[in-house]
Structure 1
Amino acid sequence: MQSTQFDKIMRRIATILSVVILTLCLIYVSTGVMLSFYYEPTAGGAYNSLKMINTQVPYGWLFWRAHDIAGNAVIAIALMQIVVMFLGRQFRKSWLAAWISGILLTLSAIGLNWSAMILDWTQLGYWRFNIELGTIEAIPLIGGQLRDILTGGGAINTVTVEHLYTIHTYLIAVATLLLAIVHLSALLWQESQMYQADWEVRS
C-alpha cells in the first residue's frame, strides 16, 4: 500500500528523533566515562566526589550538567518518538523491530534515570530510593530477592551504591547505547523499504 504524505513526514521525523536519541546516548556515555575518573561509589564518598567534580575539576561542572541533561532528554524524546511512530502508522508487522527496540530503549532510558537516583548520595535520593525499595519488596515472589540484590542484603549503604553504580554504568548504559543503534538501523532500513515500495507502485 502506498504511504500518504503525512505518513512519510511522521516517519522522517521518527528517524530524525532516533538520530537525536543516539547522539544524546553518546553524550551520556562519554560524559559518564569522564565523570567515572573522579566519582567514588561509596556512601560517604559519592557526595564529596560529585561536589569536587562540580567545584574543582576543570570543566567538571559542564560534564556533570551535560550528563544530567542528556539523561533526561533521552527519556523525553524517546516518549515523543513513540507518539510520532504511532501517528505515522508505524505499528504494522513490518515495523516490529523498530517498535520493540524503541520501547526497550525508552524503558532502559528510564532505568538509567532510576538507577542514578542514589548515586549522588543526597537526602532526596536516599529517601526516594528507600521508598522505591518498599515498592520493589512488595512484588510477589521475587520482591525480597530484588531488594537484596540492589542493597547487598542489608540497609542502604556503600554496597548499595556500588551495586547501583555497576547496574547503571555497565549494564543499563551499554544496553541503552546498543538499543539506540539498533533502533536507528531499523528505522533507516524500514524507511528505505517504504520508499522502494512506493517507487514500485508508481512504476
Structure 2
Amino acid sequence: MLTTARYEFILRRLATILAVAILTLSLVAAISGILLAFYYQPSAVGAHESLKYLSTEVDSGWLVRGVHNAAGNSVIVVALIEIVVMFLGRQFSRSWLTAWISGILFTLSAIGLGWTAMILDWTQTGYWRLKVELGSIEAIPVIGSQLRDILTGGSGLNTTTVEHMYTLHSYVLAVGAVVLAVIHLGGVLVQEIELKQGVRFRLEKLVAPFVASSTEQETDSNAQTLTTSGSQK
C-alpha cells in the first residue's frame, strides 16, 4: 500500500511539474511570437527579408526568434512526456479525463503550430517540404482537395498561402494552445488534490486497526487499574 501511494505521489507531482512547464513554455512562445509579429511580413516577398532584418538589424531580434523557436520545439517534447506520465498514472476520474483530453489536444495543437510555421520563413526547405505534404493532404479521400485549397488559397504556394498559414499559426492554434495549457494545468491540480485526499484516506484506513487495538489495550489497562484499586480498598 505504501509503495503504491509513493508511486502515485511521484507520478502526480511529475505530471504537475510538466503541466507548469507546458504552460510556461506556451506563454514564452506566445509572448515572443507577439514581439516577432511587430516586424514580420506575412507575404512571399517580405517574409524572408523581414525575418532576416529582425535577426541582423533589430536589437536582440535574433534572441527573440531563438527563444520562440526553442520554446515551440521544447513544448512538443514536454507535452509528449506528459502524456506518457499521465498514462502510467491513470486514475479514470473526471479531473484525470479533463487533463488527459486537454493534454492530447494541446499536443496536437503544438504539432500544428510547428507544421504551420514551416512556410512562414519562406525558405527553400520549408517551401518544398510543404509542397510534398500538401500532396499527401490532397490524397485524402473526399476532403483532400478542399483542405489543400483552404491551406494554399486555391492555387500554388504564394502570398495567400503564407497569410493563411500565419493566420492559423498566430490566431487559431496559438490561442487554442494557451487555453488548453491552462485547462490542462487546472485538471492536473484538481487531480493532485483528489489523489492526495485518496491516499490520506487509505493511510487512515490502514492505520485504523492499530489505533483501535492500542485504544482497546489502553482501556483494558485502565480497567485493570481500577479493579486493582477497588480490591485494595
- TM-score in terms of structure 1 length: 0.96
Match of 2:48 in 1: 47
Identity of aligned residues (%): 56
SS in 2 for 1:23: helix
SS in 2 for 1:38: coil
Task: State the AA in 2 paired with 1:7.
Answer: E
- 8 Å contact from structure 2 (residues 15, 82) kept in 1: yes
Structure 1: gaps spanning 5 or more residues = none
Counterpart check, 1:65 vs 2:66: yes
Task: State the AA in 2 paired with 1:83.
Answer: V
SS in 1 for 2:119: coil
Match of 1:164 in 2: 165
Paired with 1:152 and 1:86, the residues of 2 have a C-alpha distance of: 39
Match of 2:225 in 1: none
Instruction: Map residues 39-188 of structure 1 onto 2, 5 A cutoff.
Output: 39-88=40-89, 90=90, 92-94=92-94, 95-188=96-189
Task: State the AA in 1 paired with 2:82.
Answer: Q
Match of 1:24 in 2: 25
Paired with 2:143 and 2:88, the residues of 1 have a C-alpha distance of: 37
Per-residue deviation, residues 29-53 of structure 1 (Å, max 9, x unmatched)? 0000000000000001000000000
Task: State the AA in 2 paired with 1:92.
Answer: F
Question: How big is the shift at 1:87?
Answer: 2.1
Structure 2: gaps spanning 5 or more residues = 205-233
Question: How big is the shift at 1:199?
Answer: 2.0
Per-residue deviation, residues 98-119 of structure 1 (Å, max 9, x unmatched)? 1100100110000000000000
Per-residue deviation, residues 120-171 of structure 1 (Å, max 9, x unmatched)? 0000000000001001101111111111101110010000000000000000
- 8 Å contact from structure 2 (residues 11, 86) kept in 1: yes
SS in 2 for 1:121: coil
- 8 Å contact from structure 1 (residues 22, 180) kept in 2: yes
Question: How big is the shift at 1:196?
Answer: 1.2
Task: State the AA in 2 paired with 1:155.
Answer: G
Paired with 1:200 and 1:151, the residues of 2 have a C-alpha distance of: 57
Q: Tell me the number of residue pairs that the alignment of Structure 1 and Structure 2 aligns.
A: 202
Paired with 2:174 and 2:26, the residues of 1 have a C-alpha distance of: 8
Larger C-alpha radius of gyration, 1 or 2?
Answer: 2
**Structure number with higher relative contact order (C-alpha < 8 Å, ≥ 6 residues apart):** 1
Question: How big is the shift at 1:6?
Answer: 1.1
Match of 2:16 in 1: 15
Match of 2:198 in 1: 197
Task: State the AA in 1 paired with 2:54.
Answer: I
- 8 Å contact from structure 1 (residues 116, 168) kept in 2: yes
Q: Which has the higher helix share?
A: 2
Single out whichever of 134-143 and 2-11 deviates more from structure 2.
2-11
Task: State the AA in 2 paired with 1:50.
Answer: L
- 8 Å contact from structure 1 (residues 91, 99) kept in 2: no
Task: State the AA in 2 paired with 1:121.
Answer: W
CA RMSD in angstroms, aligned pairs only: 1.3
Paired with 2:197 and 2:88, the residues of 1 have a C-alpha distance of: 21
Single out whichever of 79-88 and 61-70 deviates more from structure 2.
79-88
Paired with 1:105 and 1:58, the residues of 2 have a C-alpha distance of: 32
Paired with 2:79 and 2:151, the residues of 1 have a C-alpha distance of: 26
